[in-house]
Amino acid sequence: MVAIKIVVSVALLALLFSRVDARRLWAIARHASIAWLATALLIYFLNVLASVWRWRLLLHAQDVRMPARTLLGSYLVATFFNNFLPSNVGGDVIRIRDTARPAKSTTLATMVVLSDRVLGLMALVLVAAVGASAAAEVPAAHAASPIWPSWLWAGFLLCAAATAPAVLAPVGFSRLLQPLTVIHPEWVGGRIERLTDVLSRFRERPGAIATCFATAVGVQASMIVYYLAVIYALHLSVGVWDLAVIVPISFVVQLLPVSVGGFGVREATFSLYFAKIGLPIESAVVMSLVGAALLMLFSVSGAAVWFARGHH
């Protein structure tokens, strides 16, 4: 699987670089504004702080108390693993491991991280839907967005309809999972019972879930601002509403386990969208690569935290 991901990433990048002027890309990157790149890093740091706060709220909803500093360190390590491992779920394993002992349950820690992921995905689709709707109404110099807002709104409503029963009727949802006990009655039955308890606590604290979702929307919106700072740093011309559509979609596409760190797939997604709205592919590729490079640079702080723990 790792070999396949490497082949996909290399093939897509090779295809894209065969269609652009590499010297022009280097010229754009070389004249980037250091001040705007630093601003982008600051925006991403604030994004991480908001993400950690959201994670802490979900843990508190399950009566799990952990210091914010500990959660920040764990999140930074997870960010490092997500950026430098072939899998984009390696960071989740770190977060689950770091919270399983305080939570006294690996199932509970897993459900909290999974809930965090689901809220983030729903926020991604919502932000993209709002962006596409705004792009359709705001006059722009470029062509209309190739992605219809109705598709994105339908996707958001489907996500909400699929997740609502788990929180609103946890007992009924757990009954749907009972057939899985044929695999191992005791072990699977225990996990389902624990899952019911976790979902019941979330149902009893709707305010926490609503706040976490609002924070997730803010986090995803801040990534649009992050890429806007990258655009300013590279002296490119891309509309903010176009970014509001393509940035969330690019993150959704990167969740597919077909590439290494999203490389190739992310650049191809930006390039296809930019071509549809009449922007040069070079702008898409350089924006994507510089944005990814900044995120990887920031995530190195997670490596420092990891080694400071005494791991080898």
The 10s digit of each residue's pLDDT in 210-238 is 999 999 999 999 999 999 999 999 998 88
DSSP-assigned letters across all residues of 180-222: GGGT-HHHHHHHHHHHHHHHHHHHH-HHHHHHHHHHHHHHHHH
Is residue 128 assigned to a domain? yes
Domain with 181 in it: 30-308
pLDDT of residue 168: 83
Backbone angles phi, psi at 51, to 5 degrees: -65, -40
Is residue 6 assigned to a domain? no
Question: In this model, does residue 67 exceed pLDDT 50?
Answer: yes
Burial of 260 (0-12, 13-18, 19+ CB in 10 A): buried
Backbone angles phi, psi at 66, to 5 degrees: -140, 145
In the chain, the number of structural domains is 1
Is residue 11 assigned to a domain? no
Question: In this model, does residue 311 exceed pLDDT 60?
Answer: no
Is residue 254 assigned to a domain? yes
In which residue are the tokens 């508190």 written? 60
Confidence band for 88, pLDDT divided at 50, 70 and 90: low
Question: In this model, does residue 71 exceed pLDDT 90?
Answer: yes
Cα–Cα distance, 26 to 33 (Å, whole number): 14
Say what the alpha-carbon torsion angle 79, 83, 88, 91 is, to the nearest 10 degrees: -30
Confidence band for 140, pLDDT divided at 50, 70 and 90: low
Arithmetic mean of pLDDT over the chain? 87
Is residue 7 assigned to a domain? no
Question: In this model, does residue 142 exceed pLDDT 60?
Answer: no
Is residue 67 assigned to a domain? yes
End-to-end CA distance of the chain: 25
Cα–Cα distance, 286 to 231 (Å, whole number): 10
Q: What's the whole-model pTM score?
A: 0.88
**Quick one: which H or E segment has residue 265?**
helix 265-276
Cα–Cα distance, 259 to 266 (Å, whole number): 9
Number of residues that this document lists for the chain: 312
List pLDDT tens digits, range 89-115. Answer: 678 899 999 999 999 888 899 999 999
Is residue 24 assigned to a domain? no
pLDDT of residue 141: 45
Confidence band for 138, pLDDT divided at 50, 70 and 90: low
CA angle, residues 143, 217, 258, in degrees to nearest 5: 70
pLDDT of residue 87: 61
Is residue 13 assigned to a domain? no
